[in-house]
Amino acid sequence: MKESLGTSGLILNEPLLWEKSKKGRCGFSIPRRDVDSFPMDENVIGDGPDFPDLSEVDVVRHYTRLSQWNFGVDTGMYPLGSCTMKYNPKTNERQAGLPGFAGAHPLLPTSLTQGALKLMFELEGFLAEITGMDAVTLQPAAGAHGELAGMLLICAFHKDKGQSRSKIIVPDTAHGTNPASASLCNYRSIPVKSNEHGILSSEAVAEVMDEETAGIMVTNPNTLGLFEENIIQIADIVHSKGGLVYCDGANMNAIMGIADMGKIGIDVLHLNLHKTFSTPHGGGGPGAGPVCVKKQLEPFLPVPRIIAKDGEYSLSDDFPESIGKLHAFYGNFGVLVKAYSYILSMGAKGLKNASSLAVLNANYIKEQLKDIFDLPYDRPCMHECVFSDKNQEPDKITTLDIVKRLIDYGFHPPTIYFPLVVHGAIMIEPTETESKENIDLFIDALKQVVKEAKEDPELLRQAPTRTKVRRLDETAAARNPCLTG
């Protein structure tokens, strides 16, 4: 390997703010008081808030040093499979920060929020066109919230037909939250195994689909990074028994602008705007998980819905078959602005190109690494590829050892031990935003790690060695969690 991104560098220790505090220090000048002083009630607040006394430089250096302990997508490659942790253009952040959007209060009357309402109305239309669906709600606050909304819509659909169904089919290549979302709607998950090619077979679905089953939850592309090639036949089987097809669209980054989800038989589709459509991801949010539906499910969409009439936009609750509100107000609006900006700036051609490049990058990595890692499904992948640690087992090196050592080379670890259908899984998603030069550095780093696994396996077991915090005892942490801070 010619070059490594990882280095020991200057890693500075940093105490707590209260430990840095020195009485009398202040980072700003308080304006001259123009009101009389008033003593605080010591019975209520004791001696007052315990704020540390700090200079401006104390504060700036404190948070700058803490930021340098972290790794983010603005720092380098974040190859987390099934998460689409891609670099996001900063222009979208600027649009979301415009005063008219960022400063709008959610209780403003519609007469003062026409711009925001128009943006949301048009975003619904964009997402419907991109996915090939008929109607959209922007309310769900994240992917799992979108899953729940999808299940509630399916439940409402069957209830409207006077049917009481109790089961949902969930493949082993679906996202992990799918069974939980089904359970919240009192559905019992019926597991179905993928076939030897890593996808669902129509025969396996036909075997479990019956009149008691409300539908199927399929992730497409699935968590192995493979497109469900039999989806049209599967949808026909489910529809023939009166069921509906829900698609987890978290992996839409591979097929936006390419696959028409409506034409392949999908009835309900959730999207992760915070993954596919250029909004920040990670750290607990904010997110956005819009749900797209076919015409038959439109009456059940949550309220309030955005209505356009004679060039004016309003919020309406006049939808008697609706599943109701999903939460207060209308989702994480700032995230919607960023996604709207991304779609406008990319255009149809740009969105399709982004998907194509994401798939190209993943297949390039797959071909470059399949000689050193076990590749359970050696076939063209979509936006991510999945390896295992099977080739390293004779040296007693695990997936965890490999990715911990990768940190020393300056790369964030990929997703590991998921999906569960692959033992010792290493799931890699480069996204479309990484250049060939960066990807080649990543590939070279992994090749070097595999070489070290043969020549000096103990080095991998001790990794990472160049980080501020060394390898933690994850087993002890899981068995004896410290929940008090």
Q: Look-up: residue for tokens 């607040």?
A: 45
Is residue 221's pLDDT more than 70?
yes
Other Cβ atoms closer than 10 A to 179? 19
Domain residue ranges of the chain, discontinuous segments joined by +: 91-345, 349-468
Question: 113-144 pLDDT, tens per residue?
Answer: 999 999 999 999 999 999 999 999 999 998 99
Give me the mean pLDDT over the 162-179 stretch.
Answer: 93
Which class in CATH covers the domain with range 349-468? alpha beta
Helix (H, G, I), strand (E, B) or coil at 191: strand
Q: Which amino acid is at 230?
A: N
| Same fold? 91-345, 349-468 | no
Q: Is 23 exposed, middle or buried (0-12, 13-18, 19+ CB in 10 A)?
A: exposed
CATH topology classification for 91-345: Aspartate Aminotransferase; domain 2 (3.40.640)
Helix ranges, 70-111 (H):
90-96, 99-102
Question: 285-304 pLDDT, tens per residue?
Answer: 688 999 999 999 999 999 99
Question: 369-392 pLDDT, tens per residue?
Answer: 999 999 999 999 999 999 999 999
What are 411's two structure tokens?
């790369």
What are 7's two structure tokens?
């280095």
Question: 398-424 pLDDT, tens per residue?
Answer: 999 999 999 999 999 999 999 999 999
How many helices and strands in the chain, by DSSP H and E?
16, 12
Contacts of 17 (CB under 8 A, 6+ apart): 52, 54, 62
pLDDT-based confidence at residue 351 (cuts at 50, 70, 90): very high
pLDDT-based confidence at residue 485 (cuts at 50, 70, 90): low
* Cis preceding-peptide flag for 221 (omega within 30 of 0): yes
Bridge partners, residue 249, by sequence: 271
Strand-strand pairing, 268-271 and 291-293: antiparallel
The dihedral region occupied by 162, where left means phi > 0, alpha psi between -120 and 50, and beta the remainder, is left
